[in-house]
Chains A and B, each alone.
Chain A
Amino acid sequence: MLRELTRVPGELAAALLQWGASWWRVFHFGALALVMAFSPRTYDKENRAVTAKQIYFTGWQVLPWFTLLSALLSMVLIRIVVVTAQAYGLSQYALEMVVRVLVLELIPLAAALFVALRSGAAINTEVALMHMRGDFDAMRLSGADPLRRELVPRVIGSAVSVVALASVSATVALLLAYLGVYGLSPWGLAGYTRTFGHVFDLEVTLGLALKMLLFGLAVAVIPITASLEMPREVRLAPVAVLRGMVRLFLALVLLEGASLAVKYI
């Protein structure tokens, strides 16, 4: 009985320690990937090809579909906001609300979730299998750095994809917002520019840039770290994927919540 009682806090402490160590590995790998992404030496010929392939698979392939989907969703949301605002006689706030809700919050989050669902899960599985098959050890033996050759290109691909998807969709949403509020008339441009300037002050613009960067990093870094810290047993591959994806969603939601809290509280 006593042993049971002493064991529980011990296990709790161990779990907490493991949790902390795991997140520490996430931050460490993220920082490492960021530094390597900005170092010109990373982009030798072979690496460039791998990175280009990652960008192609993660960003290029889904760009039209994602843009179409987000345009549709944006149009519906813009219409709802504009009609509701008009009904309450608050149409002067419709544009600001549309820009804030869509461009600042929904579209970056949607882009991150889309890349996470499509590529994050794939990266998680792929890296877990490579790790379990011992591909990385083989690479190290042959003199290649698996971090540089396989992992960093995936991080760069995810980050670029999140930013690309979000910026293209945001541009489309901004155009749709103009059309939704002012119609085809060019005379709303001055008011539109003014509202735009109102929304995007320095803090909001920097916050948006930071959020996009963190989203892009999280989408690849968290699944990769989750795959690498698993024991090398193939039966544990689903656990690695599950753990990586849960952690990724948690991170995305926390980042979005923190961004909202900083802006509005």
Chain B
Amino acid sequence: MLPDPQPAPLIPHVEFKAALLLALTLALVCGFLAYVMYARGVFASTQRLVLVADDSEGAKVGMDLTFSGFPIGRVLRIELAEDGKARIVIDVPREDARWLRTSTVFTMERGLVGDTHLRAFSGVLDDPPLPDGAIRPLLRGDASAEIPRLVATTRALLENLERMSGPGSSLDASLANVQTVTGRMKGRYGALAGVLGSEDNARKVITALDRTNTLLASVGEVSNKVDRLLAKTDERVFGAAGVMDETQKTIAQLNAVLRDARDSLKKADAVLAEAQAIGANTRAATADLAALRAEVEASLRKVARLVDEINRKWPFARDTQLKLP
């Protein structure tokens, strides 16, 4: 026999609690939406950047553009342009756009594992900033595209290595030669025989070395003699009453002679000044001579007129020739 159903116990403030739960849920949902909008950059003012690439493979909407490892922009959309190139449109918040300059280089790299990365490199941060809506080329680096080339190169390298190390190869022959040489080195004359080819040659070299030693000894004596000669020469030239002393005295005398010559020249200078004064006087005298000549000419003309007068008045002689005394 089941007990009779009891009336449900009264719950205190049930409506308030329900309203509280509703308010909490609403607040969480609204906060979540606001945070999503903030995180997606709805409130940030952005500028547009268009990257043009030959191939957009690996790029996807929403991926980051990074600068020094920090995300500074987000791919908004990827479209195919009229010329068949891929246009990757990127939104860059204005506060992060200062890292992008006109000289900035953009790259897209694909690793073997993991995502494709869009990167910006600004070498010169003093360049003018990138304008809104700028169109820039995108350089691509693709690790997986390098693999076939890498494999081909490796194969060629391995073939070369095999050819080099095989029997009858030059490396093999070189090693055989090295063995012969080291075999010789084990003989009486050691490394010398190895280098020169046979023990006879080595012996000759040793004899030559002995002779050279003798020669060097005699050269030593010669140099001693030269030393003594040099000491004597030094004494004769630079010693007391040597050549240098005499030369010094001669120079002192030469100085005195030169002083005399200078005095003589000064005198000649004075004579020349006087000669110049004489020349000036002569010029003045020449000017007076012109006046004198004019006077003489006037006197002559007067005499001519006087003779003409006498000739007219002289009745006996009709000789027109005038004889001056």
Contacts and interface: CB of A to CB of B under 8 A. Distances in A.
Contacts of A52: 14-15, 17-19
Smallest CB-CB A-B distances: 5 pairs: A197-B39, A52-B18, A55-B18, A164-B25, A52-B15
B36 A196 contact: yes
Contact of B21 (A63, A90, A170, A201): A63
Contact of A200 (B19, B28, B40): B40
A160 B29 CA distance: 12
Given A193-B38, A194-B71, A201-B62, A55 B29 contact: no
A170 B21 CA distance: 15
A59 B21 contact: yes
B11 interface: yes
A64 B41 CA distance: 34
Given A163-B25, A163-B29, A168-B24, A200 B36 contact: yes
Nearest to A205: B36
B11 to A, nearest CB: 6
A55 B62 CA distance: 39
A197 B36 CA distance: 6
A194 B39 contact: yes
Contacts of A201: 40, 62
Contact of B32 (A90, A167, A194): A167
Contact of A160 (B11, B25, B41, B71): B25
A49 B19 CA distance: 11
Q: Which of B22, B38, B114 has the most chain A CB atoms closer than 10 A to its own CB? A: B22
A170 B19 CA distance: 20
Contacts of A84: none
24 contacts: A48-B15, A52-B15, A52-B17, A52-B19, A55-B17, A55-B21, A55-B22, A56-B14, A59-B18, A63-B21, A90-B114, A160-B21, A160-B25, A168-B28, A171-B28, A193-B38, A194-B71, A196-B39, A197-B40, A197-B41, A200-B36, A201-B40, A201-B62, A205-B36
Interface residues of A, number: 26
Interface in A186-244: 193-194, 196-198, 200-201, 205
Question: Which of B22, B24, B28, B36 has the most CB atoms of chain A within a 10 A radius of its CB?
Answer: B36
A168 to B, nearest CB: 7
Interface in B180-216: none
Interface string A25-52: 0000000000000000000000011011
- Chain B CB within 10 Å — which of A52, A60, A171, A200 has the most? A52
A243 B30 CA distance: 37
Given A197-B39, A200-B40, A60 B17 contact: yes
A128 B190 CA distance: 112
Nearest to A161: B21
Interface string B37-64: 0111100000000000000000000101
B35 interface: yes
A60 B18 contact: yes
